[in-house]
Amino acid sequence: MKDQLTEGARIYYGGDMANLEDFGTITRAYTDRWGAQVDIALDDGRKWRGVHVCIFSPAYKGHGGTRFVTKAAYDQYQKEKIKQMKVDYEQVIKSKQEG
């Protein structure tokens, strides 16, 4: 996971009750006495310094417990959800035609 969190990497921040979700870019990746950290510039202009990489999840789960992920992990989740939606849609259409 840490090897994906390099300068220039795109990330997704899931937000919370007080903060909007957004995409962003890692502007700096470094290790200091507190461990591996990154600085992030969100697309809406917010900036964060010293975000510990340990709070990044390897996969996006689609719930509030996944705060930070790579954009690739977020895109993979969306791709899988759309694939499942298409399967569900076909099942609904088939059941309506049968009965």
Does this model's pTM top 0.75? My answer is yes
Going along the chain from its start, the domains and CATH numbers come out as 2-98 (2.30.30)
Q: Is the pLDDT of residue 2 over 90?
A: no
Q: Which residue has the higher pLDDT, 52 or 3?
A: 52
Please count the other Cβ atoms lying within 10 Å of the Cβ belonging to residue 95.
Answer: 9
Helical ranges in 27-99 per DSSP H: 71-98
Q: What is the pLDDT of residue 65?
A: 86
